[in-house]
Amino acid sequence: MHFLWADHAYLRVGFTNAHWIGPDMVRTNQPWPFQLAHWKKKGIRTVINLRGGKGSFYYLEKYACEKLGLILEDFGLTSRSLPTAQEFRDAKALFERIQYPALLHCKSGADRAGMMSVLYCHFHLGQPIEVAAQQLSMKYLHMKAGMTGVLDHLFEVYLRDVAPKGVPFYDWTQSEDYDPAAIKANFTASWWGTLMTEKLLRRE
């Protein structure tokens, strides 16, 4: 019951927020077991969970993946803070080693899924950041105006201050110049965006 109501799973029975973002990756919101079975039939081999390994949703998902023979990868992210240098390394390594086709998801399929989709498009597909960053948009229900807009701010800072110097995005994240706390401190969400993400939509 917790999964159904507290996790808003009832909203995801008929809506998956699913989008193929490359030839071997689809992004979605939190899938139900029957939806995982559907993706298994579509050829999905690996499921990347961006929500962490606790909660009713996780045990249900883990059981379903084991039953279906899907590989479950846990890669916890937050939509209110920026990835650390280590998390960027881990994300890059993840995309290099997993079995494809793969599915990545968070709760709504909007914010953390958006961030990870940017990294997939950049690290795995080789898209420039200005193109890959389009994975963070209202098309996928991402709210730039709220607290989750700090994710957009990261790429805006890179494109404005770092890219013109010819420094690759990954190299920047591994350098002493990358300061996620300072970047977050310089970001201000709008009041109405914050109302949407924190009170109405209750994004994780």
Cα–Cα distances in Å, from 58 out to 14, 65, 74? Answer: 20, 10, 10
The chain-wide mean pLDDT, for the chain, equals 89
**Is residue 120 predicted with pLDDT exceeding 50?**
yes
Closest CA to 49 of 122, 140, 112, 135: 112
Helix (H) or strand (E) holding 90: helix 85-97
Q: Averaged over 133-162, what is the pLDDT?
A: 93
Closest CA to 161 of 82, 174, 169: 169
Instruction: Point out the least confidently predicted range of 2-6, 8-12, 39-43, 114-118.
Output: 2-6
pTM exceeds cut of 0.85: yes
pLDDT interval class at 184 (50, 70, 90): very high
Q: How many domains does the chain have?
A: 1
Tell me which residue range forms the domain holding 116.
2-200
Closest CA to 175 of 186, 165, 187, 188: 165
* Cβ atoms within 10 Å of 8's Cβ, excluding its own: 15
| Per-residue pLDDT tens digits for 83-110 | 999 999 999 999 999 999 999 999 999 9
Give the CATH number, domain containing residue 111.
Answer: 3.90.190.10
